[in-house]
Amino acid sequence: MRVLVTGGAGFIGANFVHWTRRHKPDVEITVLDALTYASDGSSLDGADVELVKGDVADAALVDRLVGASDLVVHFAAETHNDNSLADPSPFLQANVVGTFVLLEAVRKHGVPLHHVSTDEVYGDLELDDPARFTEDSPYDPSSPYSATKAASDLLVRAWVRSFGITATLSNCSNNYGPYQHVEKFIPRQITNVLDGSAPKLYGDGLNVRDWIHVDDHNSAVWTIVEKGRSGETYLIGADGEETNKTVVQAILRALGQGENAYEHVTDRAGHDRRYAIDSSKLRTELGWTPAYVDFASGLRATIDWYRENEAWWRPQKAATEQKYAATQTVLDPAATD
């Protein structure tokens, strides 16, 4: 099988490539990636792939690559909420236009597609609401990022219905693990502590995210590719709900620091309060189960990876913190704790 992985040098995509190489060594992999600040060709070291630098919105390039493939797995996206608030235009180009270009190519060549998306398309839940997102939850995106991902999901569904392409979709909860850019929440806190600075919490730190280790996410993607029904959406989650404050305290404890050695910073505009995934459909219909059944074990493995791979994340760190320093103000703890 020849698989084209768009965005395969980014966080989840690179881990998908490594997972595939470990579990499906006969698969031939081509990665298409724009190699922006959030992706890194070195994340694919040792994976034995063809890496093509290019834009998923480049119709001629995408047409050629899709035509030589048996399957497309579509990770390519602009994903950082803060950046989408500062400048939404790259998110429209990558997430909407790029997905359209890819859909036209798979339509032309008759190649099946798996489209990777996010639970953020559903908006957020109240902290005291026992409900979780399901495949039937209405879309209610809160940011330019989540709005463009919602648009891309709807495009895929429309191409299945209107043009008969073969495609499956997945919406996942928050991923964590190796090769994640230090602008993201968990690696930022880990690398802050490793650098001797305080982790940072938006607002009161009580926002809840539903965490899943990236390897579990990618095993679910392959399960959907192999067993899922065309046109269907499957939610991927591992029952990993934790407040941001709890995650930071766990990182501090694991690295030998006092669990309250963090700082509150000004909250992000439109910051969703809680995400929670109900992955019953994926588990009951397709028989998938996560390997990391508790968040703590996955977090320990992730901390160990960042501690052992400073050469990978160090070049990103200074510029990331400089950018945050321009937008975040440290708050008085008495106002939040």
Give the pLDDT of residue 333: 58
DSSP-assigned states of every residue in 36-99? -TT--GGGGTTS--EEEE--TT-HHHHHHHHHT-SEEEE------HHHHHH--HHHIIIIIIHH
Provide the CB-side half-sphere exposure for 24 (13 A, CA).
Answer: 16
Q: Are 264 and 333 in contact (CB under 8 A)?
A: yes
Residue 330's pLDDT is 76
282 is a domain residue: no
Residue 271 domain flag: no
Within-domain flag for 34: yes
Residue 176, both tokens: 């964590």
Q: What is the pLDDT of residues 251-281, one digit of tens each?
A: 999 999 999 999 999 888 778 899 999 999 9
The pLDDT tens digits of the residues spanning 72-123 come to: 999 999 987 778 989 999 999 999 999 999 999 999 999 999 999 999 999 9
Is the pLDDT score of 142 beyond 60?
A: yes
pLDDT tens column, 189-218: 999 999 999 999 998 999 999 999 999 999
Domain hosting 232: range is 2-177+211-236
- With respect to residue 84, please indicate whether it lies within any of the assigned structural domains: yes
The model's pTM is 0.93
The whole-angstrom separation of Cα 57 and Cα 167 is: 19
DSSP string, 134-165: -TTPPP---SHHHHHHHHHHHHHHHHHHHH--
**What percentage of the chain reaches a pLDDT higher than 70?**
98
Q: Is residue 90 part of a domain?
A: yes
Give the catalytic positions in this structure. Answer: 119-120, 145
Q: Supply the pLDDT for residue 332.
A: 56
Q: Give the number of domains in the chain.
A: 1
pLDDT band at 326 (very low <50, low <70, confident <90, very high): confident
Q: Does a structural domain hold residue 298?
A: no
Domain-embedded: residue 332: no
**Of 71-85, 158-172, 255-269, 322-336, which one has max mean pLDDT?**
158-172
User: Which CATH number characterizes residue 157's domain?
Assistant: 3.40.50.720
Range in 94-98, 138-142, 324-328 the model is least confident about? 324-328
User: pLDDT tens-digit profile of 231-250?
Assistant: 999 999 999 999 999 999 99
24: tokens are 């499906």
Q: Is residue 248 part of a domain?
A: no
Mean pLDDT of all residues belonging to the chain: 94
Radius of gyration of the chain, Cα coordinates, nearest whole angstrom:
19
